[in-house]
Structure 1
Amino acid sequence: MLFGMVCALGAALCFGTATVLQAMAARAAGAGGGGDAALLLRALRQWRYLAGLALDGVGFLLQIAALRSIPIYAVGAALASSLAVTAVVAARLLRVRLSRVEWGAVGVVCAGLGMLALASGTEGDKGGPATLKYAMLGAAFGVLLLGAVGGRLAGRGRALLLGLGAGFGFGVVEVAVRLIDGVSPGALLTNPATYALLLGGGAAFLLLTSALQRGSVTTATAGMVIGETIGPAAVGVVWLGDRTREGLTWLAILGFAVAVTGALALARFGEAPVVEPTARQG
């Protein structure tokens, strides 16, 4: 239990810090000309961008370890808390000014995670119905369809739908990890959950990138947080046997709600704010 929670919080720390490092690299690389491809190539020459990618990789491995150790609802809430990490790191490295409400939201997220840590039980021991793996694969295709529909909208509706779709995609990944029984090549290639994980994760990144590029960061991130926490948590409880410690179900529900609410209050940090430097940086 402790191992899983440490892994989940470690993943949140990695993801949140990676966001700030990549934002700093993008800012430094944005001085040149060219389109998105040229910007990406310049960013890849920045050590901060490469460090951010490395942290994303470590965070993903920690996320997998957490999902194999503690309930999905605890992991989802912990990953949503990466917004609090981004906010704190951005305040230090990017000199982003946090309001009192936002500092309060950071504290709320920490309080919610503390309650979850006290109330969460171990990972559920059920494999779910045989059709659940195929349902996750179908859900991954549904994320792509949702992206196609959302891409035709404009304004906040577009950002919300794409962000929500991205959250569903990340949620598919969370559930699919629990549905993968073996890691041998044969077991992975014949398991529909493997393809659900790859398709859901890829679709989620595409939808979130599109939402952040052409819509409100706050709206898109809020949709993502809702999509990646509530649905997967419900699947874990209903079909995979995720439970709380004896008599502490109420505390787990309260902690989950508090942590997610705090994360939503920090939604503008879904993409670390880029502040123009006042002096040339070396």
Structure 2
Amino acid sequence: MPTDRPPSPWKRPPPQAGADDAAPPRRQRDEELRLYGLNAVQAVFARRPAAIRKIYLAEARIPQLQPLLKWCVAHRVGYRVVDEADLHKLAASKHHEGVVAEVLREPPQSLATWLEALPAGPCCALWLDGVGNPHNLGAILRSAAHFGIRALLLPKASPLALSGAAARVAEGGAEAVPFVRLGREDNAIAQLRGAGFTLAATVVRGGQDLFATPLPQRLVYVLGAEGEGMDASLAAACDLRLSIPGSGAVESLNVAAATAVLLAQWARAR
């Protein structure tokens, strides 16, 4: 009888609690990322199919994921149809949307490499000084992808890395916005200025009104950590200090919401 399900090359039994599928070795965790969510997985397939190592999916997702599953068969990449409980376990979340994938991480670029490949003209990037919440990171990536932002710049010592939760919230945006690892802070600032960028510290109070300030064509918004904000010395080293005016009913916007406002204002000016 005909079926829409392609033949599976992977015949191992479903994952069990405590098995390798539920807890990959540390080296594998460093090199691989367990993604979940339909848009997150499809974005990797569209941009970096060779990074895919394993796929787990609900039977109901087979029709939507036919191109991916056929690619898996052609390239001998294992996939497995599993039940809802196994997907919950694999994703460590109920928000898996019926598909989980293990993929190779894309390593961050160096600042020099990123700048060398950057075309002339308008460009905006985000410098994340201490942002750590995965849901905020995912929302920032989604906004950055929507507005065509060129990169997320990470301080040298920042432990921030893409997680499955962040990638799901980003809804595919994690594949559109590269991570760039900075070197020493003073060198990074000099390199960015040498490439024509203005650095704008985003502060809760005391900055210029975002909506009344002309924004340069090449701009790096510097965003501080949730709660404590950015490092004072970094804020002082920036060329601009910008604030988002509001009613005063709350102290400030969440960092992800503020990012969307900042990026929309830069895009509007272009």
- Scaled by the length of structure 2, what TM-score is found? 0.26
Which structure would you say has the larger Rg?
2
Structure number with greater CO (CA < 8 Å, separation at least 6) is 1
Q: Which has the higher helix share?
A: 1
Q: Give the strand-richer structure, 1 or 2.
A: 2
